[in-house]
Structure 1
Amino acid sequence: MTIDPSSPIKITAFKWVPEFAQGQVRDLRVRWALEEVGQRYEVQYLVLGEHKEPPHRARHPFGQVPTYQDTEVTLFESGAIVLHIAERFEGLLPGNRAARARAIQWMFSALNTIEPPLMDYAIVTLFEAGKPWSEPRRPTVEARIHERLSELSRRLGDRRWLDGDGFTAGDLLMVSVLRIVEGKGLVEQYENLAAYMARGIARPGFKKALADQLSGFARTPPPEASEWMEKQQQAE
């Protein structure tokens, strides 16, 4: 769908992030969900530091993105937003009650079971890569990842999607989470998971959402970016 300034649906996103984060910021999950259900939306871009100011904290108490607003509700947390979109519009949740519950189950599984160890990998290899404790932690982190991915691989089996042939919000979030370590040789060790992730990112809705997110980023960092990144590193 086209990004539409007149849409009653508004999301927030960062105007600039470091290159390694582009394509990973979690407004991508919300954009993808909106594409899958065929809804136009407006994007409010936040400049560096604006996400920590009172106007945005009124939407998101933790000063992060994304947030979502429509005519009925203002929400934060990408998982909650995707669930709201899936419940409000057709296309991401099955009509059958039991199948719907299973799809929601996979949404929670993606965020609560699979994402934490993958984010630990990002921390030890990227955000805290220079810290003395990071490299010693890495084998434990990778072992935990493989425990979870092997379990997920066994459960997926030869299914096209997590609950069979139909793509759901559970798949949307699971593929989004697996992408955190795309190309790192982790998911790729499991043939069916790699194929599953590839099916997800081949969907037209994902491609459009990713292209729109990437096109919205400023091409050069703002003047205050160096100071901000230095403070972030000191705070870790």
Structure 2
Amino acid sequence: MYYDSTILLLIPAIIFAMIASAGVKSTFSKYSYIRNSRNMTGAEAAQRMLRANGLTNVGINHIPGNLTDNFDPRSNTLNLSDSVYDKTSISAVAVACHEAGHALQYAFGYKPITVRNSIVPVVNFASHSSWFLIIIGLFLTAQGSGDMGYIGDTIFNIGVFAFVIVLAFHLITLPVEFNASSRALANIQELGLVDENEYQGAKKVLKAAAMTYVAATAVAAANLIRVLAIRGRRN
């Protein structure tokens, strides 16, 4: 059986991602059982934040699921999940205001989110084709050092570039998500959507969520390092 030692490069990042995923679920769950003292639902908190920033044309919809919340710039709507929309928990307020933060980013021309969304189609193609290109490239290269080997090298390098694109997307996503959380926390505090103790809980929820994006970036970086190691081993 063939053993590829480069897979060991992924293990720390995968463990980090698993810990981050468990962390956000645990933290969200903990604060979803604690009602905020204002008795304000996630939808109401998001609406307060939007109106305080002059955004009165953003719709707020209820969608099924748990932590499926998002802001859709195409329809200019905030889509809040079952665990956020009509819930009065600290978690609901934190997540709803985070999504409202994305609405503010679009409204006030925050460049990183515009850049991120403009490359989504390319990133989707790159993420789906990257390993396919690497494998095809390796196969063709193994056939010889002539034209077939050259074609294989070219395809392999395109695969490497696909991994670079995916990593770039994750790196751009980090400031976008951090900024949305910063906007959320600033508004939660300034508008008094929760009291000071509850604010600390909201902060923990958003910090835990942010770690999942850091973990995803780490996995993307580990994948790129792995394919570069494979290429180095071939040379």
Q: TM-score, normalised by structure 2?
A: 0.31
More helix by share: 2
Q: Which has the larger radius of gyration?
A: 2
Q: TM-score, normalised by structure 1?
A: 0.31
